[in-house]
A and B are shown apart, each in its own frame.
Chain A
Amino acid sequence: MEHVARLARLALDEAEVEALRGDLEQILDYVAKLSELDTESVAPLTHLHVAAAPLRPDLEQPGLSQAQALAEAPRQSHGGFAVPRFVEQA
């Protein structure tokens, strides 16, 4: 559970971990019924109705202005999104 929570970037307290553990066990138990089906020769369905992703010409298109992009940012710094340090000092 701790591993999955770390992958999912979710901070969970002990009570939540236990409750979620129970939920996930119940659900995984149920979804195991898919193993009743022989899918050896079945191609996984990955896309519906669309044969390939459409491409467009590689030309610049208008986008959000810097001000628009930053308008809802919880913290800004030097015209960018401020985040805690994440790069090791050399």
Chain B
Amino acid sequence: MISARELQAQICDGGVSAEAVCQQALSAIAQADGLGAFLYVATESALAQARAIDQKRKAGEPLGPLAGVPVGVKDLLTTRDAPTSCGSRMLTRDNRLETAWRAPYDAAVVERLRASDAVIIGKTNLDEFAMGSSSENSAFFPVRNPWDPSRAPGGSSGGSAVSVAAALCPLALGTDTGGSIRQPAAFCGVVGLKPSYGRVSRYGLVAFASSLDVIGPFARDVRDAARLFDSIAGHDPRDSTSSELAYEPTEAALGDAANEQSYAALKGLRVGIPEEYFQAGLDTEVEQSVREAVRRLAAAGAVLSKVSLPHTSYGVATYYLLATAEASSNLARFDGVRFGLRRESPSADLIAQYAETRGGGFGREVKRRIMLGTYALSTGYYDAYYKKAQQVRALILADFDAAFQEVDVLLTPTTPSPAFRLGEKLKDPLTMYLADVYTLPASLAGLPAISLPCGFTKATDAQPALPIGVQLIGPAFSERRLLGAASWLEHLVADQVSLSCPGASALSTNLKATPEQAPHQHSPQVSGLGVG
């Protein structure tokens, strides 16, 4: 399976045209329609972008680090030339996806993708307004896990995770508020990075929880994730929570699997294993796979130690008070006045119109969280709920600060179990919320965290193998070292993750078409390019 960086290199030296690559991605997406990964496929604009890149190359102009690479963008990020639905009817005119909102500006990360010459192939499906852990809360249709389509891909960035896992495009952007990049990455067997809070501009990200939301990359390997991350990270004055700390590019600092010596600097890396992440409730196969990763790190020269993050078990409660409170405020803007759905009220009164519009436009999970958040902030309850949660958040951050006095990175399972079945956790909300136990704390602390594949569950006659993810967490703004450690670990467990995704297309290694040889041919049926 070709990497984004190899694709970019081939496009830059004329080995294959960006247009041919774009056509193939569009074809793969059409074939994989049943997975529900995309809400919008940007056929015309993507082809136009690809052709423009081919023109630039012919004119001898320099090309960016993502030149010609198709990238999926979670439909929570604004794009000028594509609709933005947030997975909700609230941003349609008449409940139809076809009438979703057209933003008047590109999100900062979208601007940076364009500046890197990426081809924005489409908007990926998600849980409505990023609220969910399965992508079943999309108002339009659910997303399916390509490893087993009866199972969820995770959420809320399910569409982005699947687009990469099924090889529809090599890269995608997602967002992570409580685990919405890492958990689907683990369920889908891909790499997903949640950067430090404030490392990537949120300008143009439709806000869910303003103190927690982070945008980050999905890719098939750590090096590709690093390249995409380098393209989007850095200060933006339009986002007042954007960090002014100088940005250090990460891709160049990674080790190289072809050269063992390149990992030498990582020997002696102090890795902490928090005991609270290995207690009751952790699936046996997940634990075995993660512990094997730990063994291999130790054998390769890392220094392992047990640590404690004593407030881990309070993470779910803390998060579901803070995030819902912030969401109740952020979603107040959806009122049928300036954009999106409007349902007129028979009483012709403004407040009633707000209520009718919002009652009709928001899905069940969104309403649930708005109600909970409103309650937690209301007079008489603010101290007991919202303020209390902010205090516990401080304790959770202090746990990490203490641990990072002793270790460089923390290693944990990403999720307590592999991908669950569609419908399995919809009975009551708490079951779904509790599954986020390992991802929430790093979100509350604003720390960078990455999930990478470390193994699979055993395949049986009844059940295909399912991916298992391991999570690494680092101190704030330590992405360079974190990605270095992830790259090393990826190399050490490579033999454990060599299964091919059954639902994947063949965005193939054998791209042979050249524009010089066949300038009029734009079809994907060229030697080596196949689909499925």
Contacts and interface: CB of A to CB of B under 8 A. Distances in A.
A66 B488 CA distance: 53
Given A9-B332, A43-B394, A49 B237 contact: no
Given A27-B320, A50-B241, A74 B336 contact: yes
Given A8-B370, A73-B338, A39 B391 contact: yes
A48 B394 CA distance: 10
Interface residues of B, number: 74
Interface in B305-362: 311, 314, 316-318, 320-321, 328, 332, 335-342, 345, 348-356, 358-360, 362
Interface in A16-51: 16, 19-20, 23-24, 26-28, 30-31, 33-35, 37, 39, 42-50
A4 B370 CA distance: 9
Interface in A35-90: 35, 37, 39, 42-50, 53-54, 56, 64, 68-69, 71-75, 81, 83-86
A7 B429 contact: no
A23 B368 contact: yes
Main secondary structure of the interface of B (DSSP, over half): helix
B476 A49 contact: yes
Q: How large is the interface on A (under 10, 10 to 19, 20 to 34, 35 or more residues)?
A: 35 or more
Contacts of B332: 9
Nearest to B384: A35
Interface string B427-447: 011100100000000000110
Contacts of B360: 11
A10 B387 contact: no
Given A44-B394, A68-B104, A74-B342, A34 B318 contact: yes
B446 A48 contact: yes
Contacts of A74: 93, 336-337, 339-342
Main secondary structure of the interface of A (DSSP, over half): loop
Contacts of A72: 101-102, 338-340
A35 B314 CA distance: 10
A53 B428 contact: no
Contact of B104 (A49, A71, A84): A71
Contacts of A4: 371, 374-375, 378
| Residue of B241, B339, B371 with highest tally of chain A CB at under 10 A | B371
Contact of A10 (B320, B350, B362): B362
A8 B374 CA distance: 6
Given A24-B371, A46-B390, A48-B445, 14 more contacts: A4-B371, A7-B378, A8-B374, A26-B428, A30-B317, A42-B391, A44-B393, A45-B394, A45-B397, A49-B446, A68-B104, A71-B104, A74-B337, A75-B342
> Which 4 residue pairs spanning A and B have beta carbons closest together?
A44-B390, A11-B359, A74-B342, A39-B391
